[in-house]
Structure 1
Amino acid sequence: MNNHLILLLIASVAALAAPSLFERYEARILSGQPESLDAHPRTVEAAAPANRRLARQSRIAGDRAGHFRTDAVMNGRSIPVLVDTGASAVALDENTARRLGITLSAGDFVYPVHTANGVAMAARARIGEIAIGTVSVRDVDAMVIRDAALPQTLLGMSFLKRLKSYSVENGALTLYE
């Protein structure tokens, strides 16, 4: 019952106010003054930023012998590497693999590989991320070689071929992501 009374009261007030509003609107129209409208918002032109990633690059200076040695961050750890375009994969020794969190058993070393020191047995592995400066590659195939057979970690083609490009100019190697 109370709801009906409240609704009736609101309807009565609206009925009394409507003629007054209509009369003011009619008087304004009949006055001859032009009706003013709100100004439309100004249009501002702006260029949207391009949604493409900027190309990243890292430069490695050659040493006296012309080799490119640097520190790579592999799985968050700094590892000294020699860039080797003659190596088909990233190659590392067992000790370095353990530092990177790669666990292997003796039965995993079933792949014969030819190294500068002769034939050695290797195991396949995958490195979560390798970064040199601002250039990084994820999920890189690698070969783990017994400690004595590999004196230094080689950054081979399994890393390099995943880059956009790389070039050698003026004694420096530049990697492009």
Structure 2
Amino acid sequence: MALAVERLVVEALFANKVMVSIDGKRRMLKPGKASPEGVLLISSDSRQALIEVDGKRDTYNLGRHVSSSYSEPERQSAKVWRDETGSFTILGSINGRTVQFLLDTGATAVAMSGVEARRLGIAYKRKGTPIAVGTASGMARAYEVTLREVRVGAITRRGVRGFIIEGNSPTQVLLGMSFLSQLTMQDKGAYLLLESRF
């Protein structure tokens, strides 16, 4: 039996799948398979989704709330362009210093090499917590830190969780989920549109 849905927000749109928040719970919907709350995706592309809620079908755009009385505030955004390798990269800053980010939804935090951290003036050995992280080459020694400020486009987040990995890898700073989880993502083909959810 379907549960009453009070709040539904579309967070990311893709061809034939959509990421939504249902009463605060994040779900990935695919056509024909209802969520535990009874929300059913009929169809979707990178612009909109046709979703059935409580037996009623309606078209949803990115960020749209199920309640027509909801007034969405202006949101911060950034365009992350796809490079020649198919990866999404963007210039941004950490603690006010410019860095090249590689968007990586598989990374749990904003991650960088020890070499990059020293360039940015991050005293990770003194202020960080020693940890071990898994990399493409196996386990590596790292430090968990709190980054004072991370900025991409018009989006600024403070107190972002970061990993500093000893050595010179990764060669680019990974923009991971400690930053991305607070945003919606919409695939526009040539670029990915990031927008703050509040």
TM-score tier, shorter chain, comes to: 0.5 to 0.7
**Deviation at 1:94?**
1.6
Higher RCO structure (Cα 8 Å, ≥6 apart): 1
Say whether 1:54 aligns with 2:74: yes
Counterpart pick for 1:147 among 167, 189, 198: 167
**Deviation at 1:85?**
0.5
Gapped regions of structure 2 (runs ≥ 5): 1-70
Say whether 1:172 aligns with 2:169: no
Partner of 1:12 in structure 2? none
Counterpart mapping for 1:4-153 below 5 A: 53-105=73-125, 110-153=130-173
**Deviation at 1:109?**
6.5
Identity of aligned residues (%): 33
Quick one: distance in 1 between partners of 2:127 and 2:182? 29
The alignment partner of 1:105 has SS state of helix
Gapped regions of structure 1 (runs ≥ 5): 1-50
The alignment partner of 1:97 has SS state of helix
Residue by residue, what CA displacement relative to the aligned partner does 1:74-93 show, whole Å, maximum 9, x if unpaired? 11010011000111111011
Larger strand proportion of the pair:
2
- Equivalent position amino acid for 1:173 in 2: L
**Deviation at 1:100?**
3.2
Normalising by structure 1, we get a TM-score of 0.64
- Equivalent position amino acid for 1:142 in 2: G
**Deviation at 1:106?**
7.9
Quick one: distance in 2 between partners of 1:100 and 1:156? 18
Max Rg structure = 1
The root-mean-square deviation of aligned C-alpha atoms, in Å, is: 2.3
- Equivalent position amino acid for 1:175 in 2: L
